[in-house]
Structure 1
Amino acid sequence: MEKKLEDYINNLEVPEDKLDIAIEAGFQKAKREKVRLKGKKWWMSVAMVAVLVLGFFTSIRVSPAFANYVSEILGMEKIVELIRFDKGKLTAIENDYYEKLGVSIKKNGVEVVIDGAIVDESGLVFFYTLNTDEPQTEINMDRVVLRNADGKEIENYALSYGGPHYSEKGEKSFNGTIEYFFPENPLFDRELQLEIKLRGENYTFPLSLNNDIKAKKTYQINQTVTIEGQSIFILDATVHPLRVAVHVKMDPNNTKKLLELEDLRLIDENGEAWTKIKDGVNGSLISDNERIYYLQSNYFKEPKELYLTFNKIQAVDKEYANVIVDFEKGEILKQPKGNRIRELEIIGDKIGFNLYYDKDFPYEIVSEAEDAEGRRIEMGSRSFTGYNEGYSNREFQLLELKSYTSPISLKLSYFPEWIQGEAKIRIK
C-alpha cells in the first residue's frame, strides 16, 4: 500500500503533450464550479473562476515521509488528488496541519461526510465525501452556509465549492472541497455550523476545530519595479499556510492600464517556484490601481533565500481600457488597437462577440459595465467557448440592459496584450 501510494503521489504531474487536455479539463471544471462572493465590491469577478484552475502545471513530488503519513489515513489519497496542484495545501498536510473531522449525516440514501479541514487566519478548506446508496451520474450541492456557534452567518467572504459531480458510468462516491476565504477579518471562531443543501435536504454539521491556527508571516518589501516605462510598487507579502498575499500598487501616472501580473511567483535559492493559486480565489481588487494577488503557500518551507519575480504583464493603453458599445445600433465604438473583438451580437440583455488571437486566451475579459450616465449595470451569467480557428466566443448578460442609456462602457479585466521585462526582488 505504502509503495503504491508513494508511486502515485510522485507521479502527480502533467506531461507536456497532455497540457492542453489538462487545461481544457480544468476549464470545464471551473465552469461548473459554484462560487459566491459576499462583502466588498472589490472581489474578483465570479466569471474569473474559469481562469483560476489554469496556469503552468508543475510536477509536484513529495517526500517518502509524506507518502507514509498519507498511507496511514484511510481515504487520504482522495484528498491529495483534490489538491495535487496546490503545493501549499500539500505541504500543510505533510506538516500535519490537516485536521481530521470525520462527521457524517445520511438522508434519503445520500450521506454527506466532512472528512477534515485546513484552517488559517485567511480562510479554511473543508474536504467532503458524498456517498450514495445507488450509482449516480450527477450530484450537486445547491447551497452552502457557514455560521458561528450562535447561528449567525459568517460575513465578508468568498466561497467556492465544486460541482456538479459527474460520472458517465455512475458512481457511489464523490469527493470535493468547500473553501472559504476571509480577506478582511481573520476567522478565529473554533465552534462553527456548516449547512449544506443537497437534493432538497438540509445537512447541518456542528463542527469543533481544535488545531492551533498558525500565525501569518509578513515580509515588508516596499520596492518599485519598472517594466517598459510602467511602474509597480510592491508593498508586502503575507504568508499564511493556505496562501501568500502579495500587495501591489500601480503608479497612477502609468500610461498603460496594468491588468494582470501573469506569471507572478515566489522562487527560492534552488529554483523551486510557488505560482498563483490555480483552483480558488487568486486575487482581489482594492481599487483601480491597487490589488492583492494570491500565490500558493511556502509557509512550511524555510528557504535561505526567497525572491518575488514576474516577467509578463497584461496591459493596454489607458485610452483603450474600456470597450465602448452602442447597444441600440449594435456597434463597437471603441476597443484596444488590433480589432480583436469582432462579430458583436446583442439579443435582449445578452451580449456576445468573438475574441481573435493566435492562440487560446482562457480569461474572462470583461469585469464591469456602466452606461453613458455612469450607472453601473449588474452583470448576470457569463460564459466563453474554447479556442477554435483563431478565436473564442464570449457571452455575458447585462441585467435590464434596455433600461440603461447607450453607449455602454465595458471595463477590461484581462486582454491579450502584454509588456515584458525582468522583475526579481529578494524578500528574504
Structure 2
Amino acid sequence: MSEFTRDDRARPAHEPGAWPWREAIVDLLARTRIAHPDELAAAVNAAVAALGIVATVYLIDHEQCLLHPVPEAGREVGGPLRVDATVAGRAFMDSAARTDPAGEGGSPLWTPLVDGVERLGVIKIEARDPTLVGSAEFQQQCDMLAALLGHLVSIKARYGPHLARTRRTRRMSVGSELLWRLLPPLTFADARFTVSAILEPCYTAGGDGYDYAVDGSTAFMAICDTTGHGLRAGIGTAVALSAMRTARVDGGDLYATARAVDAAFAEQFTDARFATAVLMELDLRFGRLRYVNAGHHPPVILRDGKPVGRLDGGRRLPLGLDDPQPAVGETVLQPGDRILAYTDGVTEARDTHGELFGEPRLLDLAARHTLAGKSAPETLRRLSHAVLDHLDGPPADDATLLLAEWSVDTAAELLP
C-alpha cells in the first residue's frame, strides 16, 4: 500500500483530512519547536518522508531575481533558479502551484511559499508516485504544508543567519541591515486591502523607508526619504519610523504622527536632518483616504491602470522641520483603485545618456502591469527591475515603491 493511502481504514484515502498528512503536519510542528534555522529543511523532509515525497525549499533573494535552495545537511539541493525563466519562477510570480507540462513522469510540483501573502519563495515537491502530482487533492495537501512552512520560515529566520544567508547574494551594508530589521514584510493583505513595497538597492539602502499597519477599519501607510546616505540616513529613518509607530499606538492622528517625528528629530539630532514623507490613513469601509504630504512627491491614484488623481493636498514642511500647521488632505477612492507612491530615486534614475527614468515611464509601466492582471507585489517587482535596467551602473540613490489597493477581492490574487 502506498504511503499516500495509509490511514485508519475508517476514512477514504482521498478525503482531504486523510490521516497521513495530518500526522506529517503534527510531526513537523514537533520537530521544529526547538530546531535551529539550519535544521528546518531536514526537519521538513523527516516529517514528510512517510508520505513518499521529498521537499526542497527555495527562498527568493532580495533582488527578487533568483530562487535559492535552502541548504540541507547530507543532501545535494542544486543551484538557484531564475524567476523569469522557469516553472518555479512562474509559481512564485503568480502565487499558484505549477508543474512542468513538458516534463516526463517525474515532473515535480512547484508550490508557492508564502507567509500570509508575503512571497518568500517556492517548494519543490517530488513524489515517489509521480501520478499523484497532478491530483487536485494532492496539491491541496501540499498547499497546507506550504502554508505552515511559510510561517515557520518567517519565525525561524529571526533566530540565526542561515535563512538570511540563503537569500543574500552579497554582503549587506550596516545601514541596510538596520533598515531591513525595522521594515515590515513587503506585502500584507486582508479582505479589503493590499499594500506592497519594494526597496532598492537592497544591499546598500539607508535613507528610504516605508511602513503600514491595520487597526480595525483603518489602514495606515507611509513612505519616507531621509536626507543623506548610508547609516547616517538609516538612523534618521529608524527614528522617523519609531516615532510614527509610537504615535500610532498612542492613538494619534496624522497630524500628531507628523509632529511626533518633528519632536523626535529635534531631540535626537543637532544637525538639520529631515525626511520627506507621505502619511496616509484609509477607511477600509468607505474608501476615504486622509493624508499628509511632508515635502514628498505626491502619490498617484490609478483607476483601471490610468492616473486619475494625485495626493497633492495636505502640504507641510518635511518631517523634522517645525511645522505646526494641521493641513490634512482628503479624497475618496473607488473599489479597485490603486495608490502608487515612490521616492525620487525611482524617477531620477539616469541611463548612460543622462536620461531620467521619469514619472511618465513609471506610470505607463504601472498601467501595463495592472491591465495585465499583475498583483501588487508582482507589479512592483517588475517596476523596480525596469528602474535598475535603466540605470548606468549602481543606483546613486535609494529607490522605493509602495502600491496599495482598496478592493473587496484584492487578496484573492495573492493567495495560493
**TM-score over 0.5 (shorter chain):** no
**Larger strand fraction of residues:** 1
Higher share in helix: 2
